[in-house]
Structure 1
Amino acid sequence: MFTKAFLVTVLFAAISARPQEGHDHHHGHGHAVSSQSIKQHHGKATEKHVEYYSHPKYEFAYKVEDPHTGDKKSQHESRDGDVVKGVYSLHEPDGTVRIVEYHADKKTGFNANVKREGHAKHIVPEHHHHH
């Protein structure tokens, strides 16, 4: 039953996808046409599994200093095999700088050391009174 329903669906799709004569009139309003071909293969599949290994190794760094928004941050990271090392810094709104040094590997997992530099400033929001 499934095969008959499938064939009817494919036949309907093929009829619907054929170009409709007399409807184009060469005004650039043609219909989109698509087709597909379905082939079924029955038999034993032979599968070969080939293992590829590429030693992962990279290094990147970036720095942002936007005077308009006050956004200041940077990051540097490197990877060699299963070992990732990096550091990033972020200027916080209170005036301090957060510095995170991190290291990750198979043996110890992910470890981060977070430091803060500078002294936090108490920021008082401005209130505008309209009378």
Structure 2
Amino acid sequence: MLVKVAALVVVVGVAVAFPSDEYGPQPKSQNVYKEDPIPYNYAYGVKDEYAGTDFGHSEDSDGSAVKGSYNVVLPDGRIQTVTYVADHYNGYQAQVSYQGEAQYPHEYGPPITFKPQAYQPSYNPQPSYQ
């Protein structure tokens, strides 16, 4: 009888120890982000006349809200600028604006092609046998 009770306790303990849904929500203690948010800012811009690319992005955060904007020169010649604000309460709110007027030329030139460049390694180590 004692063996049956011990076996029953072991089986119940094992059944309780295994989670019923391994892929379900985790306990709250594992979902809490415990570190304080860190303020940051960054910006970059790319302008390549040869390839015809022109775009940029900048963003600032105070740790709780993010503000920023990014812009790109569209193929029709206009500049598209997206200014946004995002936080945990209001979500992502964007405002899109355009500068310039769309240009559609009547004649198109030859396609832009890039000449292939051969790979030239700058470091060529020589083996040494000592």
CA contact (8 A) 2:69 2:82 kept: yes
Q: What residue number does 2:97 align with?
A: 115
Identity value in percent: 32
The TM-score normalised by the length of structure 2 is 0.54
CA 127–73 in structure 1, closer or farther in 2 if over 3 Å, else same: closer
* In 2, Cα distance between equivalents of 1:66 and 1:89: 15
Residue 88 of structure 1 deviates from its aligned partner by: 0.8
**Matched length:** 79
CA contact (8 A) 1:83 1:103 kept: yes
1:28-107 mapped onto 2 (5 Å cutoff): 52-107=34-89
* Displacement over 3 Å in runs of 4+: 123-128
CA contact (8 A) 1:58 1:78 kept: yes
CA contact (8 A) 2:40 2:63 kept: no
Residue 127 of structure 1 deviates from its aligned partner by: 8.0
Task: For structure 2, list consecutive stretches of 5 or more residues without a partner in the other structure.
Answer: 1-29, 111-130
Bigger Cα Rg? 1
Task: For structure 1, list consecutive stretches of 5 or more residues without a partner in the other structure.
Answer: 1-48
Q: RMSD value over aligned CA atoms? A: 2.1
Amino acid at match of 1:103: V
The TM-score normalised by the length of structure 1 is 0.54
